[in-house]
Structure 1
Amino acid sequence: MHISDFNSEAFLRDYWQKKPLLIKNPWDNWENPLEPNELAGLACEAEVESRLIEQTDASWAVEHGPLPEARFATLGPSHWTLLVQAVDHYVQEVAALIEPFRFIPSWRIDDVMVSCAADQGGVGPHFDQYDVFLIQGSGRRRWRIGGRCDETSALLPHDDLRLLAAFEAKDEWILEPGDILYVPPGIAHDGVAIGDNCMTYSIGFRAPSRSELIGDWCDDLLGEMATDDRYSDPDLPLQANPGEISEAAIEQLHAMVAETLYDRDRFARWLGRYVSTPKYPDMDWRPDAPIAPGELRTRCAAGDALCRNPASRFSYIGGSGDTVSLFVDGKVFACRAETAAFAQQLCTQSQFTLDTGQLESAGLLALVAALFNQGSLAFG
């Protein structure tokens, strides 16, 4: 799907992480990519993350999937919402909704959560810690937008939902099919379905916290450190007071930590692996049988197209000269010359074919075969 009359540069300048924006049906030809019964079917699968939220008076009940198929027959006519996470991993048409928003760096994109709500269904007033584009798929939904919130904002007591204790709307919009609402992080919002079969596609963006970055970075460093890399002081002078930690010791110990933490090249390699790690790393997308570069070349020469696994994450970091580090699903691939150019192409195209020149590159075929065999690429 494509959107028209949308100025991404102006959006980034005026709205991104600054203020909400309602975009009235900008699609060339909007079609809802998923039916409610298809979403319900996904919620019954064990490997799919899903929740069913029901509101009764002032109380909220949450059930976590997988949900039994018979559960949907017991739902009332109103005040319930089904939420299914990462639907783009399983439905190609939903994954295609991300493409118009690729003006945001790919490593920032998380997934597409899909909700289906009965009349008056919603998840209550809340705020997120990440940016989100809310696409109205079918039906209608009233969105009320409040002020900016943070960790000091009062929440209602609930084990599964982060509901605001106080919510005051500043703007209100009714979204029709194809409409898009952008909500920056920290902005309170509340969406309530108007009528049945209200489907919303939420394209969420990752925003790692400082504590997450530091914690994972340090864990990675610790896993690679030698146990015999220790403090030493062969020129230790005699101290007047043995209880003092000297300035010289502090400087040396601090330098031991700092020179490791501030190794920018090492940090960049870790960051590429970190941001390309799949949302569900335990999922096994590998083919039943691995493919050899020769077989791959034969199929590609016959015109077979390759496509990226929608659940996979692709990013790269440019090196010196014609060298590129390609990061796919938490692994790094060193690419040079024509393979480097291909790696950059791979990060922008969800489907592609290999041309004659590429088919003659043993290094490029080896890279594609490795990505195929780890489940990041497939024929399709």
Structure 2
Amino acid sequence: MKNLPLLGDITPARFLREYWHKKPLLVRQAIPGFKPLLKRDALVNLAQQGDVESRLITHFGRQWEMQHGPVTEVPAFAQKDWTLLLQGVNLHLDAADRLLRQFNFIPDARLDDLMISYATDGGGVGPHFDSYDVFLLQAHGQRRWRIGAQQDLTLVEGMPLKILKHFTPEEEFVLEPGDMLYLPPHYAHDGVAIGECMTYSIGFRAPSYQELGEAFLQFMVETVELPGRYADPELTPARAPAEIGNAMLQKIREKLQQISFEEEDITIFLGEYLSEPKASVYFKPPARPLSLARFIDAAGKRGVKLSRKTHMLYRGKHVFINGESFTAGRADKAPLLSLANTRCLEGMALAAASADVQETLHQWYADGWIELA
């Protein structure tokens, strides 16, 4: 798949400066002549798999219901008002992964996944907002979008979905195949299918600081060092036995305040955290992996590529892959950074790499993290 004119006549720099996090952007024919990557029946079959995150949403008789996958059975296609959502399709389909990578003008650390929404006539998920940026690419049929920059984000209580209680749209668009709508975080929107339709959503990671803080503290558990044990040789007789004394409180406070962290601690935490695959992701090692020598020979001719499911990031001397981290020397960084940025490595570059890099790549190949190109 060639690079696509996703933003129309707007450069990525202008988009990020004027629209990202700020206001919506409608791009007519962002991908001219776009065709869905999966047909309807193949999408339904994919939703039946246990390692695919899917949801079935119905709005029959004005009653919202949601069923988490695997979705073993869907309503009749002639039945109106139902939607099938498949999250992370890029993990299971090469073409979906290639489409997702067209959005790499946004850093990989922020790029999340590609979701496919199939809906029959009238289908949707109700007026709502997302906590992250999203590109909504129409793949098949038509969908009517109503959007608004409302401040009231109160939700209807007792619903299986997060539906806005007071939706006040300001604009309305009908998207045709190839059209795309960008929405910043917390921008209210409601998409309703006009006949049968498919919409592809490209979403971005926006973890809460609470989530990051809890994960960072858990990460630091392994590095905290506070030698010694509490002692109070100056203890005096207790007047109120159940009260925690000032001396004990102050002594422990002083010790806990000795816990500190550096920028490198945050770097390693963030790289491991952001490259960690989701819990539902499983790698498939080769059934009969090549020996190191045969792998180097084959990879030198064909090159290697990252698995669709692999997340690889780096900063400075630190390289992160699928939740693990290691330090790369100056000579070893070039091929690894090239692999991280382009998600592939040509045979010549691999053949010229150090023995350490070749052995590391062979181990990743045996784990299913990379594949022969």
- Normalised by the size of structure 1, how large is the TM-score? 0.87
Deviations 1:38-85 (A, max 9, x none): 1111001111111111112321111222122xx236454311111011
Aligned to 1:210: 209
Aligned to 2:108: 106
Q: Which amino acid aligns with 1:376?
A: W
Deviations 1:301-360 (A, max 9, x none): 3x2232211111110011xxxxx2111100113212332011211122133322167445
Residue 11 (1) aligns with residue 11 (2) = no
1:144 corresponds to which of 143, 146, 151: 146
Distance verdict in 2 for CA 1:125–1:356, change over 3 Å: closer
Q: Secondary structure at the match of 1:174?
A: strand
> In the aligned structure 2, how far is the partner of 1:224 from the partner of 1:289?
38
Unpaired runs of 5+ residues, structure 1, are 319-323
Deviations 1:183-208 (A, max 9, x none): 11111110001111x11111111111
Deviations 1:81-135 (A, max 9, x none): 1101110001111111112210111011111111111111101001111111111
Q: Secondary structure at the match of 2:297?
A: helix
Give 1:23 deviation, angstroms. Answer: 1.2
Give 1:269 deviation, angstroms. Answer: 0.8
> In the aligned structure 2, how far is the partner of 1:126 from the partner of 1:356?
48
Matches within 5 A, 1:256-295: 256-257=258-259, 259=260, 262-280=261-279, 283-295=282-294
Task: Count residues with an aligned counterpart.
Answer: 364
Aligned to 1:67: 71
Please, what is the CA RMSD of the aligned residues? Answer: 2.7
> In the aligned structure 2, how far is the partner of 1:174 from the partner of 1:296?
51
Q: Secondary structure at the match of 2:277?
A: coil
> In the aligned structure 2, how far is the partner of 1:232 from the partner of 1:12?
57
> In the aligned structure 2, how far is the partner of 1:373 from the partner of 1:148?
51
> In the aligned structure 2, how far is the partner of 1:232 from the partner of 1:327?
42
Give 1:173 deviation, angstroms. Answer: 0.8
Deviations 1:202-254 (A, max 9, x none): 111111111111111111222444574556799x899xx99435997487235
> In the aligned structure 2, how far is the partner of 1:309 from the partner of 1:360?
20
Distance verdict in 2 for CA 1:231–1:187, change over 3 Å: farther
Asked if the contact 1:3/1:28 (under 8 Å) is kept, the reply is no
> In the aligned structure 2, how far is the partner of 1:184 from the partner of 1:218?
30
Aligned to 2:83: 81
> In the aligned structure 1, how far is the partner of 2:349 from the partner of 2:74?
52
> In the aligned structure 1, how far is the partner of 2:50 from the partner of 2:306?
24
> In the aligned structure 2, how far is the partner of 1:172 from the partner of 1:341?
48
Aligned to 1:130: 132
> In the aligned structure 1, how far is the partner of 2:188 from the partner of 2:228?
49
Aligned to 2:181: 181
Give 1:168 deviation, angstroms. Answer: 0.8
Asked if the contact 2:299/2:350 (under 8 Å) is kept, the reply is no
Distance verdict in 2 for CA 1:299–1:229, change over 3 Å: farther
Q: Which amino acid aligns with 1:81?
A: T
Residue 373 (1) aligns with residue 361 (2) = no
Asked if the contact 1:359/1:365 (under 8 Å) is kept, the reply is no
Asked if the contact 1:135/1:178 (under 8 Å) is kept, the reply is yes
Give 1:378 deviation, angstroms. Answer: 0.9
> In the aligned structure 2, how far is the partner of 1:24 from the partner of 1:141?
13
Residue 46 (1) aligns with residue 55 (2) = no
Q: Which amino acid aligns with 1:100?
A: Q
Distance verdict in 2 for CA 1:215–1:149, change over 3 Å: farther
Aligned to 1:315: 313
Most deviating of 184-193 and 352-361: 352-361
Give 1:255 deviation, angstroms. Answer: 2.5
Residue 337 (1) aligns with residue 330 (2) = yes
> In the aligned structure 2, how far is the partner of 1:15 from the partner of 1:194?
28
- Normalised by the size of structure 2, how large is the TM-score? 0.89
> In the aligned structure 2, how far is the partner of 1:211 from the partner of 1:130?
16
Q: Secondary structure at the match of 2:13?
A: helix
Aligned to 2:297: 298
Aligned to 1:321: none
Q: Secondary structure at the match of 2:257?
A: helix
> In the aligned structure 2, how far is the partner of 1:343 from the partner of 1:55?
49
Residue 364 (1) aligns with residue 360 (2) = no
Q: Secondary structure at the match of 1:373?
A: helix
Most deviating of 291-300 and 163-172: 291-300
Q: Which amino acid aligns with 1:139?
A: G
Most deviating of 103-112 and 352-361: 352-361
Asked if the contact 2:335/2:350 (under 8 Å) is kept, the reply is no
Q: Which amino acid aligns with 1:173?
A: F
Residue 23 (1) aligns with residue 27 (2) = yes
